[in-house]
Amino acid sequence: MFKVLITDPIAPEGVEILREAGFQVDEKPDWKGEKLIENIRGYHALIVRSATKVTADVIKAADELRVIGRAGVGLDNIDLNAAKERGIKVLNTPGATAISVAELALGLLLSCARWIPQADRSIRSGKWEKKRFKGIELYGKTLGIIGIGRIGSELAKRAHALGMVILAYDPFVKEHDIAKLVDLDELLSESDFISLHLPLTEDTRHLISTREFELMKEGAVLVNAARGGVVDEDALYKALKSGKLRCAALDVYENEPLPQDSPLRELDNIVMTPHIGAQTVEGQRRAGIEIATKIREYLTGQDNA
């Protein structure tokens, strides 16, 4: 009997798929770090989301592990080199939450354009600051999307429907039916709004830093619902503090949870959410079902990947 360990919650439908296949499924959301290392022996599959860190030490301790499944897109919480060395397959669900993340990115764009969170806080404090919160429209503005894969494309569709002009930079994409593909510097200098949708790698770490902020328009808006390390937070703070950026909206951070002493917390022209891009009922259901199906197929030899 195959044994499957789930250390971050997935949709009940996904768990049921595995149990119906005859697998032993253990849901242990408190098994993190050393506790995971101590208990992973004997399991053939491990399913995680973003909270569990599948380190080299975890993989080394896993004597029977054949496959790791990530119910989501990013794989930066999994040591891919260690998994490869052990011949352990790593699977994810890149399309399951694309709409969820794209919709959040659009919401963050609107939040910055119209100061929605700031106006909410103001009125809750008993004020009526109508003139203070004069916004700008998305209509007719240029949106630059860095990374025009599944999520970036879903955002492009929605922004295009709102009358935005779409530019995109993605070295892995040769053509796109909505976005005009340009180089990074052109995108940065021509865009009124910029949204990031790319993985965190050695090549993309601090892709957006001091030089890139200098290239942006005065009053540009930056949204990051991808990975925190793509943006240099020290440089971002300076760009927001100086007024170079009108606003930034972040769903992801270099260190998560965001440290209490982060200077970003003191700024008024920033919108922050706690990595909720994929946190929709529909997105999590799709991700849970998809990763469970992939794990079942891999363990039973039905996977052709």
Contact 286, 97 (CB under 8 A): yes
| Side chain identity, residue 249 | A
The active-site residue, picked from 256, 265, 266, 282, is 256
CA distance 164 to 157: 10
Closest alpha carbon to 40 in 52, 22, 23: 52
Closest alpha carbon to 42 in 30, 28, 53: 28
Phi, psi at residue 290, to the nearest 5°?
Answer: -65, -45
- ∠ CA 140-107-223 to the nearest 5 degrees? 80
Can you read off the two tokens belonging to residue 79?
């040591």
Contact 85, 225 (CB under 8 A): no
The active-site residue, picked from 49, 70, 197, 227, is 227
Cis peptide, bond prior to residue 257, ω within 30 of zero = yes
Can you read off the two tokens belonging to residue 144?
């630059």
Is 86 considered catalytic here? no
Question: Bridge-partner residues for 188, per DSSP?
Answer: none
Is 13 considered catalytic here? no
The active-site residue, picked from 44, 197, 275, 286, is 275
Helices (H), the chain: 12-20, 34-39, 56-61, 80-85, 98-114, 116-124, 150-161, 184-190, 210-215, 233-242, 281-299
Sign of CA dihedral 38, 42, 44, 47: negative
CA distance 88 to 74: 17
Is 256 considered catalytic here? yes
Catalytic residues: 227, 256, 275
